[in-house]
Amino acid sequence: MSGSKRTLLVVFILLISGLILSAAPDLQNSPDVTNINDFRTDRVAFHYIQLVDKEGKALPERNLNRDTSEATLLIIDRGQLTLLKDGFDDPAQIKDKEKDYLNKIYKFTRLKDLEQEYYKLPESERTKPSSKTEPNQAETNKPNNTPGTSAEPEEKNKEFDLLLKYDDELLKSYAAEKAAYAEYSRTERIYGKDSPKTSSLRARFEEQKSKTQERKKFLLGFLHNTSADSNPYPGDRKEQIFYTNHSNGLPDFYLHSTTPREVDGLIKGEEEVGKKYGQLFKTAIDRLIDSQIDKLYYYIWNRDMTNTRIKVDRFLKGKKVTVVTGDSTVYTMIDKEGDGITESFFVDSPGLKFSWGKEVPNIISISNCTDQGILTKIKALGDDVSSGRIPKKVDKLDLAIPEEQILLELKPLLKNL
């Protein structure tokens, strides 16, 4: 194979790989008032994601821009939407944390660049390190004019220009110093050096000049005493933990909407939301999972009559079991560790127009479950289905409108929504 053909083949493979990766569903995409596409049909749905280890550290295989531990119960009743979330992290706080990290990494990078460029200057252009032991002390090659004796802004040279180039704080301080000097000198020409106004502006200029000198001294002290501690690396973006509120079985966020894309009711905080809606949250999730497991068992018991298909594939250390029922509902059970415990359980109905994310299962989406209440229900599913063991025989099932049936059962708990 020629070099050009081999290159084209490699490019083609990379493109296909990129398409496959980009097509993978983002299972961290949870239901929100802005991404639900159908409010007309009453229904119950559940989303759960757990990408946090036992020590609370986020796992590497995650979308950095989405919550790593969150459970969301979605209820549409009489055309009105209710969302109950457990492990909710306020987006405004996440944004502040990200901004703080970006500021730290920016300052780290600028100081590293300054350090590299500084020692390219001729020695004659660099300030000599002070013989003192303090890390932020430096003495210049020229007489040091301190505020109060100097009548002009900081004198520029190659060293000072370099400091201004890489340090925003120094640049801002120097600009303020020059502006203060211009105002002071103009006033002195008009009113004289002994006028109260001139004296006030002189004091402001000298104060700003002092700030510039202090920042310059700090930077030179850093350059003369560089170490890992003097400019600590804040860590890679993927190592940062911005989402710190983890799901624990109690809802801490409530949203109610009577009109699509608009919020009519909003409550945050586990104490209030958990107390008011905790029972509804747990009961609805239990009932939804139980009903879908019953439906799965029904179709497997009647697989020949309903044309239900079962497929078992290897997945990481364990396996993935996929069941496509007679009404085209897709059940997926994943045991990624190979320890006989189903950690992930998905129920998707492709025929439904309803969804909250591209290719995210639209009835139940449970990923990497650690909730013991939920695990009690799903942990044996993968092994049972793949081995043909069905522990519960379901002869009859009302398949017409299961979501509405669940809502009828939950009606006493829905009255306060």
DSSP letters, 221-287, are HHHHS--TTTS-----GGG---------SS--EEEEESSTT--SEEEE-HHHHHHHHHHHHHHHHHH
pLDDT of residue 11: 36
Residue 3's pLDDT is what? 43
Residue 417's pLDDT is what? Answer: 81
pLDDT at 128: 86
Q: How far apart are CA 400 and CA 295, in angstroms?
A: 12
Half-sphere exposure of residue 31: CA atoms within 13 angstroms, side-chain side:
33
Among 95, 28, 82, 79, smallest CA distance to 247 is for 28
pLDDT for residue 358: 83
269: left (phi over 0), alpha (psi -120 to 50) or beta: left
- What CA–CA distance (Å, rounded) separates 31 from 46? 9
Q: What pLDDT score was predicted for residue 359?
A: 85
Q: How far apart are CA 369 and CA 341, in angstroms?
A: 10
pLDDT, residue 140, reads 46
CA trace torsion 97, 99, 101, 105 (10° rounding):
180
- Residues facing residue 70 across a β-bridge: 49
pLDDT digits (tens, 9 = 90+) for 162-204: 999 999 999 999 999 999 999 999 999 999 988 999 999 999 9
Each residue's pLDDT, cut to its tens digit, for the chain (417 residues) gives 444 444 333 333 333 333 333 335 689 999 999 999 988 888 999 999 999 887 777 888 888 899 999 999 999 998 899 999 999 999 999 999 999 999 999 999 999 999 999 999 999 899 988 755 444 444 444 444 444 445 688 888 999 999 999 999 999 999 999 999 999 999 999 999 889 999 999 999 999 999 999 999 999 999 998 887 889 999 999 889 999 999 999 999 999 999 888 899 999 999 999 999 999 999 999 999 999 999 999 999 888 888 999 999 999 999 999 999 988 999 999 999 999 999 999 999 998 889 998 889 999 999 999 999 999 999 999 999 999 888 888 887 776 556 778 898 899 998 878
Contact yes or no for 75/60 (Cβ under 8 A): no
Alpha-carbon gap, residue 51 to 70, rounded angstroms: 9
CA dist 334 and 93 (Å) reads 33
The Cα 82–Cα 264 span in angstroms is 10
Q: Where are the domains of the chain?
A: 43-89+285-416, 102-124+154-248
Q: How many CB atoms lie within 10 A of CB 396?
A: 6
Q: What is the pLDDT of residue 132?
A: 52
pLDDT of residue 165: 95
The span from the CA of 67 to the CA of 398, in Å, is: 36
Residue 138 is predicted with a pLDDT of 47
pLDDT at 12: 38
pLDDT in tens, 199-258: 999 999 999 999 999 999 999 999 998 887 889 999 999 889 999 999 999 999 999 999
Does the pTM surpass 0.85? The reply is no
The whole-angstrom separation of Cα 227 and Cα 205 is: 34
CB 386 within 8 Å of CB 294: no
Query: For position 226, what pLDDT does the model report?
Result: 82
Radius of gyration of the chain (CA): 32
User: Is the Cβ–Cβ distance between 78 and 415 less than 8 Å?
Assistant: no
Closest CA to 293 of 235, 243, 216, 364: 364
User: Which of 320, 273, 261 has its CA nearest to residue 71?
Assistant: 273
Backbone φ and ψ for 383, nearest 5 degrees, come out as -65, -45
Q: Which helix (H) or strand (E) holds 124?
A: none
Report the DSSP pairing between strands 364-367 and 43-50. parallel
Task: Tell me the HSE value of 86 on the side-chain side, using a 13 A CA sphere.
Answer: 22
- Determine the pLDDT at residue 222: 92
Q: How many CA atoms lie within 13 A of 266 on its CB side?
A: 7
- In this structure, what are the phi and psi dihedrals at residue 405, rounded to the nearest 5 degrees? -65, -40
